[in-house]
Amino acid sequence: MQASAHVTRPSKRPSKMGFDEVSSSACELGVRRWLGSLPSPLHLPSTPCLPQVFVISLARRPDRRERMLTSLWEMEISGRVVDAVDGRMLNSSAIRSLGVDLLPGYQDPYSGRTLTKGEVGCFLSHYSIWEEVVARGLARVLVFEDDVRFESNFRRRLERLMEDVEAEKLPWDLIYLGRKQVNPEKEVAVEGLPGLVVAGYSYWTLAYALSLAGARKLLASQPLRRMLPVDEFLPIMFDQHPNEEYKAHFWPRDLLAFSARPLLAAPTHYAGDAEWLSDTETSSPWDDDSGRLISWSGSQKALRSPHMDLDGSSGHSLQPQPRDEL
């Protein structure tokens, strides 16, 4: 049903919802330092502070990008698109030239596969935002991927949550707004904040808030040298990953991570849905330059059910389906 042309609607006035807490002088200095680290020619924007709501989106997925920007516009949220690093454009030599190496012994907990190029691109996309946060001294930011479905009244609920967090003076580094909860029954509520829980082991990075202190901690761990999927790296950093061998490669694991309860965002599609498509699950192994794609269909990470039996997984139960890259 289309909106009626006979009903007057107020003009949209997108804002950053308070995710721009940095002084103009500090912001301008940060922007100059950040731009100075990028390839020339680049010019300083006319406004010293760029938006602090980031949308990670692949350039070859214009439908997702348009849908996401339309959703933000409807909610009057001002966001900035960050072109995602496309794993399909990476080869093993380019990956290594970026200082990327695989975390020793990493395997997907269900398929037993190694890291995919799509997962490398996803990690690098988030990592670039963390770098910008630190370089520009941004106090807090929002990060969205481009496959987010926002819950009803998302903006007001998020504003209220952040107001409550500030009122309680809660120290925080990361707040999940959308995720896959592995053991939700084990998560503890935050005293004085009924809309927040201490985050347990989680999958997905589709929507989260990040503080400057949090970004510094993530970068200080030097994750590119021992990479695993970004949604498994984050639980390691707040010491909730079940694999002790993985955790031993990172220290300190003191990220202060929380999650909205109930969640404020979810994926637009889940594995098994007719329109489900994953550029991380459908991808080549990170060191495979043959050009073929492997569809790791049935990944439990992308299923709708929140419960995942990690103990019952053989680690090699899923059968990959190879297909040529177009």
User: pLDDT tens-digit profile of 214-224?
Assistant: 999 999 999 99
List the domains of the chain with CATH numbers: 24-267 (3.90.550)
- 284 contacts 117 by C-beta, under 8 angstroms: yes
pLDDT > 90: percent of the chain = 61
Q: Return d(Cα 124, Cα 39) in angstroms, integer.
A: 17
List, edge to edge, every strand of the sheet that includes 193-198: 80-83, 53-57, 140-145, 202-211, 174-181, 257-260, 193-198, 189-190
What is the arithmetic mean of pLDDT over 147-175?
96
pLDDT score, position 276: 46
What is the arithmetic mean of pLDDT over 225-241?
97
Residue scoring higher pLDDT (3 or 48): 3
pLDDT score, position 153: 95
What is the arithmetic mean of pLDDT over 232-248?
97
Residue 207 predicted with pLDDT over 60: yes
Q: Return d(Cα 81, Cα 69) in angstroms, integer.
A: 9
The pLDDT-based confidence of 203 (bands split at 50, 70, 90) is very high
pLDDT score, position 7: 45
Q: Return d(Cα 179, Cα 230) in angstroms, integer.
A: 12
pLDDT score, position 296: 56
Residue 102 predicted with pLDDT over 50: yes
Residue 229 predicted with pLDDT over 50: yes
pLDDT score, position 37: 52
Residue 317 predicted with pLDDT over 50: no
What is the arithmetic mean of pLDDT over 36-41?
45
Residue scoring higher pLDDT (149 or 45): 149
Burial of residue 269 (CB within 10 Å: 0-12, 13-18, 19+) is middle
Least confident of 11-20, 71-80, 160-169: 11-20
- Please tell me the pTM assigned to this model: 0.79
Instruction: Find where tokens 């690093």 sit.
Output: 85
Least confident of 13-17, 98-102, 154-158, 218-222: 13-17
Residue 1 predicted with pLDDT over 70: no
pLDDT score, position 279: 63
Peptide bond between residue 223 and the one before it cis (omega within 30 degrees of 0):
no
The pLDDT-based confidence of 283 (bands split at 50, 70, 90) is low
Rounded to 5°, angle at Cα 76 from 72 and 79:
50
**Sign of torsion, CA 254 212 180 99?**
negative
Q: Which of 86, 115, 92, 84 is nearest to 102 (CA)?
A: 115
Q: Return d(Cα 277, Cα 98) in angstroms, integer.
A: 27
Q: Which of 233, 237, 153, 234 is nearest to 195 (CA)?
A: 153
pLDDT score, position 108: 86
The pLDDT-based confidence of 314 (bands split at 50, 70, 90) is very low
What is the arithmetic mean of pLDDT over 86-110?
91
DSSP 8-state code for residue 260: E
Chain-wide mean pLDDT for the chain? 81
What is the arithmetic mean of pLDDT over 41-50?
35
Q: Return d(Cα 25, Cα 256) in angstroms, integer.
A: 29
- Three-class DSSP category at 173: coil
pLDDT score, position 321: 33
Q: Which of 211, 178, 176, 203 is nearest to 190 (CA)?
A: 176
